[in-house]
């Protein structure tokens, strides 16, 4: 076998946005587990604490400047999105998302009866004019946004647009669900305010997760909203899973309490930054005709291939070359203008769980296919 054939035969996974094995702090988390199971046995090994492990809720409440009863900690953030959709969406209600958006959220909203409409995403976040036009036609149950380093594109919502979107939510009376699991993984630039920090009318619900900062297997996610909303969702949660998984929530709380989270995030950024740089520069070099969303953090870079790119069976042809891609279409909801969504031209490129060599090789294989 020639060197070329060997390289081709090594599969490169540009599919799931998961942390690589070397990013999981096994030793430290193990110690935290051990400590909470031994020292807080009657709480963490028992049913109860339906709103989530109380010390963790308190830590989160302090971080976000809210009261404890505005925080619900559950089994991963996607399940909280599911509970929220059950609560807010009546059959056939609209939910608006960015277009493209996180595929599993689109599916979750649809499963709860929503008609999901995607509003085009620009370099600096959702197209606010298009959003306003859509709002003149109908007001959604909520608008779902991933404002920082969006999944699947990496794009970040600008400050100006954050203000305008919050104003629209207040004027038209809909909720914004801001989903921020990647926010702390910034490789360049300065943080922008949370949407909830710009909101004075209680229109913003925040959801996030420890999946990308610590471990997805822990299944610890949280939601912040008004006390009334959190009360309602807690009732739904109790009827769904009885009680949350307290040992993992307690381990996360212990990990935070020992001051380990911030250094862990710093070491993740050190691990991911060169991968992010490799992905960004490989795309610029290998796919000059494509439009790349500017990503300053997170797990993904998204590209829109040129109009004349060969996208016919791209996922199948890539697989034959040992390159595994997620079909672009899965990130697209129904269009706001009735036109068919152009998902076949979109490619999501996750960079955290691949080495810089795999990134360069993978992007070059992709370029050879389109």
Rg (CA), the chain: 21
Q: How far is CA 113 from CA 91, 135, 233, in A?
A: 5, 19, 18
Q: Find tokens 């060197």 and name the residue.
A: 3
By CB under 6 A, which span of 50-58, 76-84, 261-269, 352-360 interacts with ligand PMP?
76-84
> In terms of CB distance, is 19 or 370 closer to ligand PMP?
19
The yes or no reply on residue 225 touching ligand PMP (CB under 6 A) is no
Which candidate, 102, 18, 15, places its Cα nearest to that of 353? 18
The yes or no reply on residue 244 touching ligand PMP (CB under 6 A) is no
The yes or no reply on residue 151 touching ligand PMP (CB under 6 A) is yes
Q: What φ, ψ does residue 293 adopt, rounded to 5°?
A: -70, 140
The yes or no reply on residue 216 touching ligand PMP (CB under 6 A) is yes
> In terms of CB distance, is 16 or 171 closer to ligand PMP?
16
- The SS3 assignment for 126 reads strand
The yes or no reply on residue 206 touching ligand PMP (CB under 6 A) is no
> In terms of CB distance, is 217 or 288 closer to ligand PMP?
217
The yes or no reply on residue 77 touching ligand PMP (CB under 6 A) is yes
In the structure encoding, which two tokens stand for residue 232, read together? Answer: 């309602």
In the structure encoding, which two tokens stand for residue 311, read together? Answer: 């996208």
Could you tell me the smallest distance in angstroms from the CB atom of residue 78 to ligand PMP?
Answer: 4
The yes or no reply on residue 347 touching ligand PMP (CB under 6 A) is no
Q: What letter would DSSP give residue 193?
A: P
> In terms of CB distance, is 183 or 203 closer to ligand PMP?
183
- E-strand spans in the chain? 12-14, 71-75, 94-99, 115-122, 125-126, 142-145, 175-179, 204-209, 220-224, 291-292, 300-304, 323-325, 334-335, 346-350
The yes or no reply on residue 326 touching ligand PMP (CB under 6 A) is no
> In terms of CB distance, is 33 or 210 closer to ligand PMP?
210
The yes or no reply on residue 97 touching ligand PMP (CB under 6 A) is no
C-beta separation of 248 from 222 below 8 A:
no
> In terms of CB distance, is 221 or 244 closer to ligand PMP?
221
- Dist. CA 4–CA 6, nearest whole Å: 5
C-beta separation of 118 from 333 below 8 A:
yes
Sequence-distant (6+) residues with CB within 8 A of 137 are none
The yes or no reply on residue 100 touching ligand PMP (CB under 6 A) is no
> In terms of CB distance, is 118 or 360 closer to ligand PMP?
118
> In terms of CB distance, is 78 or 301 closer to ligand PMP?
78
Q: How are beta strands 71-75 and 220-224 bridged, if at all? A: antiparallel
List the one residue from 12, 29, 72, 78 that touches ligand PMP (CB under 6 A). 78
C-beta separation of 125 from 159 below 8 A:
no
The yes or no reply on residue 102 touching ligand PMP (CB under 6 A) is yes
By CB under 6 A, which span of 19-27, 33-41, 75-83, 309-317 interacts with ligand PMP?
75-83
The yes or no reply on residue 99 touching ligand PMP (CB under 6 A) is no
The residues that touch ligand PMP, with contacts defined as CB under 6 A, are 17, 76-78, 102, 146, 151, 179, 181, 209, 211, 216, 221
């Amino acid at each position: 076998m020639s060197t070329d054939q060997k390289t081709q035969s090594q599969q490169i996974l540009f599919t799931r946005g998961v942390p690589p094995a070397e990013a999981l702090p096994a030793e430290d988390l193990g110690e935290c587990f051990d400590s909470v199971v031994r020292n807080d046995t009657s709480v963490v090994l028992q049913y109860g604490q339906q709103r989530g492990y109380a010390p963790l809720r308190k830590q989160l409440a302090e971080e976000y400047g809210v009261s404890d009863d505005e925080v619900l900690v559950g089994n991963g953030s996607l399940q909280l999105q599911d509970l929220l959709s059950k609560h807010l969406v009546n059959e056939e209600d609209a939910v608006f998302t960015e277009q493209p958006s996180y595929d599993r959220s689109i599916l979750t909203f649809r499963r709860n009866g929503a008609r999901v409409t995607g509003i085009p995403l620009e370099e600096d976040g959702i197209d606010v004019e298009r959003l306003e036009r859509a709002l003149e036609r109908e007001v959604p149950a909520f608008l779902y946004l991933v404002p920082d380093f969006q999944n699947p594109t990496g794009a970040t919502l600008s400050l100006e647009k954050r203000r305008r979107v919050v104003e629209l939510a207040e004027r038209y009376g809909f909720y914004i669900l801001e989903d921020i699991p990647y926010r702390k993984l910034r490789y360049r630039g300065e943080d922008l305010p949370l949407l909830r920090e710009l909101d004075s009318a209680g229109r913003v619900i925040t959801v996030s997760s420890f999946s990308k900062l610590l471990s997805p297997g822990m299944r610890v996610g949280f939601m912040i909203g008004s006390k009334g909303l959190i009360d309602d969702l807690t009732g739904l949660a109790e009827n769904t899973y009885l009680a949350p998984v307290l040992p993992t929530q307690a381990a996360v709380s212990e990990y935070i309490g020992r001051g380990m989270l911030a250094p862990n995030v710093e070491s993740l950024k050190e691990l991911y930054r060169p991968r992010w740089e490799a992905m960004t520069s490989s795309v610029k070099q290998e796919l000059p005709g494509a439009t790349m969303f500017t990503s300053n953090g997170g797990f993904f870079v998204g590209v829109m291939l040129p109009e004349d790119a060969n996208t016919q069976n791209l996922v199948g042809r890539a697989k034959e070359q040992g390159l595994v891609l997620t079909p672009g279409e899965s990130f697209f909801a129904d269009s706001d203008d009735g036109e068919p969504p152009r998902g076949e031209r979109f490619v999501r490129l996750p960079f955290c769980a691949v080495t810089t060599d795999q990134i360069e090789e993978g992007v070059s294989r992709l370029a050879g296919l389109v």
